[in-house]
Structure 1
Amino acid sequence: MTAPAPEAPAIRKPAKSTILFFLCGGASHIDMWDMKPEAPLEYRGEFQSIRTTSPDIHLCEHLPLLAQQAHRFSLVHGVTDGGKATGDHHAGYYYNLTGHAPDQTFKQQGNDRRPYPDDWPFMGSVVGSRRPLHRNLPQIITLPHKPSKLPYTRPGQFAGRLGTDQDPFYLYGSFAEPLKFTAPTLTLERSLGAGRMDSRRELLQAMNAARRELDTEMQVQSYLRQQDRAFSLLASSGAESAFDIASEPEAIRARYGNHINGTSLLMARRLVEAGVPFITVFWKEDESTAKQCKSAGGWDTHADNFNCLKKYLLPKFDQAFSALLEDLAQRGLLDDTLVLVTSEMGRKPRVGDVRSGGNVGGGRDHWTTCMSVLMAGGGIQGGREVGATDARAEYPKEHPIAPEDVVKTVYHAMGVTDLMARDMLGRPYNLLDEGKPLLELFG
């Protein structure tokens, strides 16, 4: 039997919700918020740093709106995998979303590694499982997509051994219609009347009867519970109100940005208002930029790093995320809402990636040895920097911070102190033995 981990000191009050904003692809720490202006050019790159509303925080010149919010957030530098990951995206997702180091299967399979039922659970699933059930909304909602394209679904974003009934409820959005969000199979449109819902329920009940011959009873029951919650969601007036993003004033929508990543953060704010405990926004990649950046269209800038950042990624991130912090603060929601920005890795501080021709390609490769995480709200004191990296942002300077420390900080902010669970045989185990919360972030 595993001994329970020592409990961290209680914070002033637990946060009511978490918004996790995950920058898919591996965001460049050295080009955004761990800049090294004294480093050689081949490391620091072409971006300049600017002052912010915090005397301790300097940001990239292409984040001017976020610079005006620096007193509201803190930065954690030197987050490292400690050599426990593989450098692949799958392992990076898994480690940073669960707090557990990737096992041997990630080394053997790389980005072919699928999510397994006995994976360690996503931090959002743990939080959702520890909170009282919401009256008419799911505990954990993820939008606007499920990374990555089948069959390469990223591990770490699911409930794993906690059971599929603790999986996130997914809302899908698109670049073409950024105000429209849909759920798999079930559409969140007002045109879906009671008659159509009944017809779908009958069809799914017939499908479920067939599944009983193929699945174990436990799997079937979990699947049925998910469907029941989905139908309850669609029938709920509270859900209709929460998802009606088009009802937001035009000025608010414009402040976030009329693009899918902006409206996803606006939806996250609405879900916080509706009392959803955990909301994840996975940055949706723009495939029109994939060829130039040699990526999937997100933050994986293997080529032309600086143009891809300043033209496509940083302006939209700056607009949308600064709007979220400003909006939460103005509505009196930031104190009760933990906001976390992270990614699966950082970028290699030395410019030049062999995948794009080395120095001439101007890209940055994967870098799991160092990355930065942003945290705000939920008891986090703004305007601080915790942790540090060396003169070239390559390695932690003194005390390395691991992904499990970040996840434990989320649990601490959300008041999650009971991490004990039981396996299928009733044996107790701890959901996250490793890591310690970063208490220096809290007031």
Structure 2
Amino acid sequence: MAGVVMRRGANGVRMALVALLCLAVGVTLSGCVQAGSSAENDGSSSSAGVRPSQSEEAVTSPDHRDHTATAVPAPRDDSPDGKAKRAVAAMSLEERIGQLIMAPLFAGNDPSVLRQLIADRHVGSILLIGNWNDGVASVRAAADALQSYAPNGNRLLITADQEGGLVQHLQGPGFDAMPSATDQGLMDTDTLRASAAAWGTQLAQAGVNVDLAPVTDTVVGDRASNAPVGALDRDFGLGADGNADHAIAFVEGLRDANVAASIKHYPGLGAVSGNTDFTADGIVDSTTALDGPEIGAFSRVIREARPAMVMMSLATYQLIDAAHPAAFSSTIIDGHLRGDTGYDGVVTSDSLSATAVGGVPADQLGVRFVEAGGDLACIGDLSYVQPILDGLLAHARSDAAFAARATRAAERVMTLKYEMNLAG
């Protein structure tokens, strides 16, 4: 320190005088250092003196102080996706897993059979299945009871297969008798959109907020030989482009009634002979390709109508992924549907209690679906719900990468709920 004073000459004397003055008037040591520094700077801007510490600069530098005071936090993301991410981050793992389940309520069963699954296991979606023949008021009473078991800030997705023709699960007073999808294909698209809006309004009045329709499959070959779709007139009965046009109209008509749609059965059940609900035979598709018109119809509906959900088929597609059913294929879900097509909405499964996947242990059905990129496990048999829930939860607890996948799936489901004003 003495060497520094000697080299500074006059500046050193001035610093010493300032220090003595500070001591005389009782100024604190930190104040003396500041005064000494000021005196030094007055003498020469090129002085080799010791700079103030960082903390002292923060106190004495107006520029630094202003910068700290005006620091602005990142803007809050109040989009449905942003809200969903915050909601899921606040959930327990059990609550997140519950959002990945669509449990069935059969016609004639009291809604209370699902109370424990909704209230304690956090199941977030319900499928109304069977022949509900008592009309809108009866369905609404069941829907209201189901919603009463859910948290106020996280209401249920309540779904039904309301396609028309042979597949119309909700009937009776207040529900129109819907023509088959093949007959709907004879309508012009404006008429179909208006009709779908009317059918959607009836669903909304009944408390149903998602229609698991329209079927967007394109039947190739003999219709009677295509058991899941053609034989039941569940498709629009047109070529791929015409089917896409009518599916778009159906989705938009439902949206006009504030009801969400799920197109199905991706990437198409129009080239198999067996019905995946009831058989594991005849469910290998040897012709559908990623660049073919059948998948192209789905891609058009996704781009142009933005359906809330895409339901995955349980058939296997030899030209795409011969080793896995579509619902368990990361090549099809993560690779093509999400990657190539850019779809980031909810991916649901066809019923995981179906015969087509009967060889898979029940507690692994949901795991395989979520691992492939799926979000919402549709289940048509109540006895499967508990093992699928337990399997998902156990795998998420033991595998951090899988837990992250399950979290992202829950975020997509919750994003849809925020979009539909069912959450928040």
TM over 0.5: no
Q: Which has the larger radius of gyration?
A: 2
Query: Normalising to structure 2: TM-score of the pair?
Result: 0.29
Higher relative contact order (CA 8 A, sep 6+): 1
Query: Normalising to structure 1: TM-score of the pair?
Result: 0.29
